[in-house]
Chain A
Amino acid sequence: MLPVLARRVANIIPTLAAVVALVFLLFSVLPGSFVSAMNEDGRSNIDPAVMERMRKEMGLDDPVTTRFAKYVTRIAVGDLGTSFRTREPVTKLIAARIWPSLKLVFAAMCFAIIVGVPLGFLAALRPGSTIDTAAMVGAISGLSLSQFWLGLMLMYLFALQLKWLPSFGYGDGGLRHLILPAVALGVGPMALLARTTRAAVLDVLNADFVRTARSKGMTETRVVEWHVLRNALVLVITTIGLQFGSLMGAAVVVEKLFAWPGVGSLLVDSVFQRDIPTVQGCILLIVTFFLVINTLIDLAYVSIDPRIRYG
């Protein structure tokens, strides 16, 4: 297990390095950089003095290589810089937002897994049945929904009309505030998981070893329990890992809609406030989180599938 862990961790380092470079490049180097682009847009006028200060702070007058070297050294020691707006360290700003974000993303993924996987499973066990058709029509509809519209409609129905749940905000951090955003965020992954699970189970049910299992004289339930579940799970788990990516993208929108104090809404606010260090920090954090999750998924994979451990 340990060498595998080491290898997987080593694997994410080049990607992470590339992301650091990209984030640096996007916001610090490109001609007509972020600061001026937002200014040209004409929505607000930044005080030239502020512009000047920003340029200084970012060291825009240094050569690119020097700036990049500085940037990398700072990040290597966990310093994401100082926010332009609040003058606080970006790490502190982000730290305050991580927990709500994690809560929302994991709640959404739990919802997606708890509903999507069994749904796909049932559909696959009875292909062509009513439940299969209903599940698959539901799944493709779920994939076609825009998260924030769904969120808006949920908000309208359950918060404003029925008044069952709070319409927005973090509240005391309890479950009641979490439900609507988590569902809005989870429906897309749920739909995809239902489809993937169905395809995976159908695949496995057609496998030769399932025919062997049947020829051993076991009930169909046993066949599924002993031989189909784990094999289908391998395929489903990969999807779960990759889904975290689009989930975190969508989380930005959902957090904004529900005024959820997470990293996503911090990112969007910082974009509008031209708070470049915070924008960079948020993006780096999101990418790191995605890579860590997928490394964990890889490890889960290894513990399920013996072929990877030895092969």
Chain B
Amino acid sequence: MTVPLLKIEELRIALAGDGVAHNAVEDVSFEIGRGEAFGLVGESGCGKSITALAVMGLLRRPLSLANGRIVLDGRDIQGSSPAEWRRLRGSRIAMIFQEPMTALNPLSPVGKQIAEMFVLHKGASWSEAMDRAEEALRQVRVPSPERRIRDYPHQLSGGMRQRVMIAIALACGPDLLIADEPTTALDVTVQSEIIDLMAELCAAKGTAILMISHDLGLVSNMCRRVAVMYAGRIVESQPAEAIFATPRHPYTQGLVDSLPRLGERARHGRQRLREISGVVPSIASYPAGCRFNPRCSAATEICRRTVPGLTMLPEGGLVRCHHHG
């Protein structure tokens, strides 16, 4: 097997609280191959976004990396100096955030915000960088980019702003693009356009994608492999089709069951969508044992006492459950 582009090993992220440190994320490991699209799915608060921030080296107090290795292209980067991090960020790992309205500086023309990337990483002059920014806008299919580069974020629609974010992220041809809920704040009709654009541009440039979302359907459409996170841990990791066909963790099963599916009604008649009962525990009150046990119908004594380990599935993939079927 070749060296994966990104390898995360036993990542643990601590949240410093009132004298007690909680683990916001623990024992998270996964790999992303070159050019591969990998999905990380979970509800808000499960730790998927801060995992992404850790990969970007952008964890800020009170969050900190407590343990684990982040290996990019065979090189440990978790202990990099601030200067090394800055060289990685933007040029080798780039990130798109959820809210395109607030993620762009309201007082700066969008062209300039793209051009910054060329000035920072390619040593371009501002005028040169502005030309390349225009080209970058054309690539993300913003109409009449020569005019749009002078526009301010508030003059663009949400979809257009997210295209600008993509242009910024892909400006320097990074190896890995982290997309944190890139379409959640957008209209449904715009969502698929943005996803398609992102997938297409990354495929063309050979950029790997770490797609983070609460939307299992969206992620499995786009990614080859999907990992499901729950309360700071990865509970299941499988190829995208398999996660739908044979979800092995009760939480994943719940997620799959709660999705409306085309044709379902024709086959099974009118049915209520099933939801997962109970609520996501907060970081300060994670239950002992399997963290899903209070909401799990199959939970037994062992689930309340012992943290389940990751089990390798025969058909490939991993699951963290004492009773995986």
Contacts and interface: CB of A to CB of B under 8 A. Distances in A.
Interface of A: 207-209, 211-219, 222, 226-227, 230-231, 234, 304-307, 310-311
9 contacts: A208-B102, A209-B104, A209-B105, A214-B58, A216-B116, A217-B86, A218-B90, A227-B108, A305-B107
Given A208-B102, A209-B102, A215-B58, 13 more contacts: A207-B102, A208-B97, A208-B103, A209-B106, A212-B168, A215-B97, A217-B86, A217-B88, A219-B86, A226-B105, A230-B108, A310-B152, A311-B154
Given A211-B58, A212-B97, A216-B90, A304 B154 contact: no
A84 B203 CA distance: 86
B116 A226 contact: yes
Tell me the interface secondary structure of chain B in the complex.
Answer: mixed
A91 to B, nearest CB: 42
A214 B102 CA distance: 14
B104 A231 contact: no
Contact of A217 (B99, B103, B108, B121): B121
Among B87, B104, B107, B117, the one with the most A-chain Cβ atoms within 10 Å of its Cβ is: B107
B179 to A, nearest CB: 12
A230 B113 CA distance: 14
Interface residues on B, range: 20 to 34
B91 interface: yes
Given A215-B90, A215-B94, A226-B116, A307 B102 contact: no
A304 B105 CA distance: 13
**Nearest 9 pairs of A and B residues by beta carbon:** A217-B89, A217-B90, A208-B102, A306-B152, A216-B90, A209-B105, A217-B86, A215-B95, A208-B103
Contacts of B89: 214-217
A307 B99 contact: no
A291 B38 CA distance: 59
A311 B155 CA distance: 9
A215 B86 CA distance: 8
A143 to B, nearest CB: 29
B46 interface: no
A113 B315 CA distance: 68
A212 B154 contact: no
Most buried by B among A208, A222, A227: A208
Contacts of A217: 85-91, 120-121
B56 A215 contact: yes
Interface in B127-156: 152, 154-155
B122 to A, nearest CB: 12
A231 B97 contact: no
A219 B105 CA distance: 17
A95 to B, nearest CB: 41
A311 B154 CA distance: 9
Nearest to A204: B105
A218 B106 contact: no
Nearest to B101: A208
Contact of B105 (A222, A231, A310): A231
Contacts of B99: 208
Question: Which of B58, B91, B105 has the most chain A CB within a 10 Å cutoff?
Answer: B105
Given A226-B116, A307-B154, A311-B154, A213 B105 contact: yes
Nearest to A307: B154
Contacts of A311: 154
A216 B106 contact: no
